[in-house]
Amino acid sequence: MAKGMATVPLDKAKVDRCRELAAAVASDVQSFIDEHTTVGVERTILRALGVDGVDGEGVSVVNRVIDRLQTARVLGRGVCTFVASELKGGAESIQDAAERLAFGDDVDFAAPLSPEESRRILAPHVTAALARIDEARGHREAFKATLPRSPEPHRYVIVATGNIHDDALQSKAAAKAGADVVAVIRATAQSLLDFVPHGATTEGFGGTFATQENFRIIRAATNEASARYGHYVQQTNYSSGLCMAEIAWMAAVEGLDMLLNDAMYGILFRDINMCRTFVDQYVSRRFIARAGIVINTGEDNYLTTADAVEKAHTVLASQFVNEAFALRAGLKNEQMGLGHAYEIDPSIENSFLLEIAQAQLVRQIFPTHPIKWMPPTKFKTGDIFQAHVHDAMFSLVGIVTKQSIQLLGMFSEAVHNPMLADRYLSLKATTYVHNTCKNLGDEIEFRTGGIVSARAELVLDEALTMLEGVARDGIWEAIGRGAFGDIKRTRTGGKGYAGVVRRSDNYVNPVLEALEA
In eight-state DSSP terms, residue 350 is T
Average pLDDT score over residue span 374-398: 95
Average pLDDT score over residue span 243-264: 97
Mean pLDDT, the chain, as a whole number? 95
Decide: 65 and 101 in contact? Cβ < 8 Å: yes
What is d(CA 221, CA 171) in angstroms, rounded to the nearest whole number? 7
What is d(CA 297, CA 270) in angstroms, rounded to the nearest whole number? 15
Q: What is the CA radius of gyration of the chain?
A: 23
Position 333 pLDDT exceeds 90: yes
Quick: pLDDT tens for 143-191. 999 999 889 999 999 998 999 999 999 999 999 999 999 999 999 999 9
Quick: pLDDT tens for 408-456. 999 998 888 788 889 899 999 999 999 999 999 999 999 999 999 999 9
Decide: 67 and 111 in contact? Cβ < 8 Å: no
Peptide bond connecting 153 to the previous residue in cis, omega within 30 degrees of 0: yes
Distance (Å) of CA 245 to CA 7, 141, 240, 411: 38, 23, 8, 34
Decide: 355 and 397 in contact? Cβ < 8 Å: yes
| The pLDDT value given to residue 305 | 87
Closest CA to 398 of 435, 451, 446, 425: 435
State what percent of residues in the chain have pLDDT above 70: 99
What is d(CA 398, CA 87) in angstroms, rounded to the nearest whole number? 55
Decide: 305 and 485 in contact? Cβ < 8 Å: yes
| The pLDDT value given to residue 135 | 98
Neighbouring C-alpha atoms within 13 Å toward the C-beta of 215: 25
How many helices (H) and strands (E) the chain has is answered by 20, 11
Average pLDDT score over residue span 129-150: 96
Decide: 311 and 303 in contact? Cβ < 8 Å: yes
| The pLDDT value given to residue 474 | 95
- Give 265 or 149, the one with higher predicted confidence: 265
* 3-class SS of residue 277: helix
DSSP 193-250: -SS---S-----SSS----HHHHHHHHHHHHHHHHHHTS--EEEEE--GGGHHHHHHH
- Residue 61 phi/psi, 5-degree rounding, is -60, -40
Position 4 pLDDT exceeds 70: no
Average pLDDT score over residue span 219-246: 97
Decide: 18 and 361 in contact? Cβ < 8 Å: no
Quick: pLDDT tens for 444-480. 999 999 999 999 999 999 999 999 999 999 999 999 9
Position 120 pLDDT exceeds 90: yes
Average pLDDT score over residue span 489-510: 97
Position 1 pLDDT exceeds 70: no
| The pLDDT value given to residue 417 | 79
Q: What residue ranges do the domains of the chain occupy?
A: 36-129
Active-site amino acid positions: 265, 300, 372
